[in-house]
């Protein structure tokens, strides 16, 4: 059964095909550099608004255009990535508690996971034998 | 022969024993690092008691499966360890997935005082680690386990990012992933970058405009040059011999990525070593 991370919505198998556990870590968030209401800053791409101004490479020029006015050959420039708030990191950390016991736990629970059925099984059955 | 051996021999009559002398307070300690489920380590050997009796022994240990160290202590009593070997059973770990170390320790509970290390190296279901005979090996030397891993299928508008797990060290080999772009205007440009958890130190970018509403599969690896192979496939040459300790990442950066763009799950190849420490 695959798992879906509720922080980044990524889907993964907890045990790989080779039998080794897989430790999911959320990817960072991509942000565009925009000018909104006269201020320049980072906005996650999921929160871009049509009226936000972004800088794009248009032919040989760099121009500032509204998101709603982007042309097919424009290339937005200046994107950055930031750490995901409440991201999940299943990698382990080991520490020794006050009773000198070694404790192993995952680094960050994030928003947890849910079990999901993949859109299509990784290994499809052969319906008509050769 | 240690002073303890001389004293024991004087009391019991056996002057010089073959092998490594154990006093009553000494034990064998097996420490293992392992990444594979169902592995059982079997330690076998022979022990010569001070009365001259030869005593074979078998000890078993189930290591952790998350690459963290696990330890078992086996008291042996007084006498001489002549030989031992360790082999994996219950599963078939590759070289690079199960690493073992045998120490002689003073004490019978952990933490104990390590007196000496007599065997250390990777074990498999067919390759034994032996004392005497085997070289004391570092977990980062030699060949690692070649793995093909299915990574996380990112959500829409999210980049691929894979992190080296705790206790592992990877040498990057290759990565294949497909990007489906949304109908939203703007060209995308794809690259694969390596970072230390935050700062990028190497990467490879594709000089190709990935337009809207287009599916393209990218193959990253040491292919010598970057080129668009067909109307739907691109080969991207990455820097050679990229070594990544735990916490380091490789991730795509897609310039002008749209919230509706969708990277598929990456399949990637790495050579994996255990960071036994």
Question: Do the domain assignments include residue A45?
Answer: yes
**Final residue of a domain: which of A82, A105, A125?**
A82
Contact (CB, 8 A) for B240 and B150: no
- The model's pLDDT over B112-124, given as tens digits with 9 standing for 90+, comes to 788 999 999 999 9
* Backbone torsion region of residue B197, taken as left when φ is above 0, otherwise alpha when ψ lies between -120 and 50, otherwise beta: left
ipTM: 0.85
More confident residue, A1 or B92: B92
Contact (CB, 8 A) for B152 and B265: yes
Task: Tell me: do A54 and A99 sit in the same domain.
Answer: no
Contact (CB, 8 A) for A116 and A2: yes
Task: Tell me: do A14 and A51 sit in the same domain.
Answer: no
Question: Do the domain assignments include residue A40?
Answer: yes
- The model's pLDDT over A32-56, given as tens digits with 9 standing for 90+, comes to 999 999 999 999 988 999 999 999 9
Task: Tell me: do A77 and A53 sit in the same domain.
Answer: yes
Question: Do the domain assignments include residue A125?
Answer: no
Q: What pLDDT does residue B201 have?
A: 95
Q: What pLDDT does residue A104 have?
A: 85
- The predicted model gives A16-36 an average pLDDT of 93
Task: Tell me: do A51 and A70 sit in the same domain.
Answer: yes
Q: What pLDDT does residue A46 have?
A: 87
Task: Tell me: do A42 and A78 sit in the same domain.
Answer: yes
**A:B CB pairs within 8 Å:** 132
Q: Is A9 on the interface with B (CB under 8 A)?
A: yes
State the nearest Cα–Cα gap between A21 and chain B, in angstroms.
7
* Domain housing A67: 29-82
Cross-chain Cβ contact A21/B150 below 8 Å: no
Task: Tell me: do A14 and A43 sit in the same domain.
Answer: no
Task: Tell me: do A59 and A74 sit in the same domain.
Answer: yes
Q: Which residue of B has its CA nearest to A118?
A: B153
Contact (CB, 8 A) for B2 and B81: no
Q: Given pLDDT bands bounded at 50, 70 and 90, which one contains residue B30?
A: very high
Q: Given pLDDT bands bounded at 50, 70 and 90, which one contains residue A76?
A: confident
Task: Tell me: do A34 and A53 sit in the same domain.
Answer: yes
More confident residue, A95 or A110: A110
Q: CA distances (Å), A53 to each of A46, A63, A71, in order?
A: 15, 10, 13
Task: Tell me: do A95 and A76 sit in the same domain.
Answer: no
Residue B120 has phi, psi (to 5 degrees) of -160, 130
Task: Tell me: do A39 and A68 sit in the same domain.
Answer: yes
Cross-chain Cβ contact A13/B150 below 8 Å: yes
- The predicted model gives B1-10 an average pLDDT of 50
**Residues of chain A neighbouring B212 (CB-CB closer than 8 A):** 72
- The model's pLDDT over B33-72, given as tens digits with 9 standing for 90+, comes to 999 999 999 999 999 998 889 999 999 999 999 999 999 9
Radius of gyration of chain A (CA): 22
Task: Tell me: do A14 and A33 sit in the same domain.
Answer: no
Residue B55 has phi, psi (to 5 degrees) of -120, 110
Residue A46 has phi, psi (to 5 degrees) of -70, -15
């Amino acid at each position: 059964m695959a798992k879906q991370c509720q922080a980044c919505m990524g889907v993964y198998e907890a045990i790989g095909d080779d039998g080794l556990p897989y430790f999911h870590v959320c990817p960072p968030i991509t942000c565009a550099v925009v000018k909104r209401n006269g201020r320049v800053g980072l906005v996650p791409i999921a929160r871009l608004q049509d009226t936000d101004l972004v800088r794009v490479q248009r032919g040989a020029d760099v121009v500032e255009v509204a998101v709603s006015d982007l042309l097919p050959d424009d290339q937005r420039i200046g994107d950055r990535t930031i750490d995901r708030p409440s991201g999940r990191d299943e990698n382990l950390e080991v520490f020794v508690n006050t009773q000198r016991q070694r404790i192993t736990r995952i680094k960050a629970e994030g928003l947890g996971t849910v079990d999901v059925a993949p859109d299509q099984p990784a290994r499809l059955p052969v319906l008509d034998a050769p | 022969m240690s002073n303890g051996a001389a004293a024991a021999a004087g009391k019991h009559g056996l002057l010089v024993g073959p092998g490594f002398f154990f006093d009553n307070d000494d034990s064998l300690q097996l420490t293992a690092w392992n990444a594979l489920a169902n592995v059982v380590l079997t330690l076998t050997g022979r022990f010569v008691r001070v009365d001259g009796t030869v005593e074979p022994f078998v000890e078993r240990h189930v290591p952790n499966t998350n690459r963290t160290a696990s330890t078992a202590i086996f008291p042996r009593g007084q006498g001489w360890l002549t030989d031992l070997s360790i082999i994996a059973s219950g599963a078939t770990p590759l070289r690079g997935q199960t690493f073992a170390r045998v120490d002689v320790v003073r004490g019978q509970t952990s933490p104990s005082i390590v007196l000496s290390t007599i065997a250390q190296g990777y074990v498999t279901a067919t390759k034994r680690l032996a004392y005497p005979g085997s070289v004391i090996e570092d977990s980062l030397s030699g060949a690692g386990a070649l793995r093909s891993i299915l990574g996380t299928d990112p959500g829409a508008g999210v980049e691929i990012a894979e992190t080296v797990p705790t206790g592992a060290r990877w040498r990057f080999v290759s990565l294949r992933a497909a990007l489906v772009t949304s109908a939203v205007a703007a060209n995308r440009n794809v690259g694969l970058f390596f970072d230390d958890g935050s700062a990028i130190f190497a990467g490879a970018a594709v000089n190709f405009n990935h337009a809207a509403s287009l599916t393209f599969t990218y193959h990253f690896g040491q292919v010598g040059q970057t080129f668009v192979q067909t109307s739907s496939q691109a080969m991207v040459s990455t820097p050679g011999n990229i070594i990544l300790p735990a916490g380091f990442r490789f991730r795509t950066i897609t310039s002008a990525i749209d919230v509706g763009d969708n990277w598929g799950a990456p399949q990637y190849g790495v050579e994996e070593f255990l960071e036994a420490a």
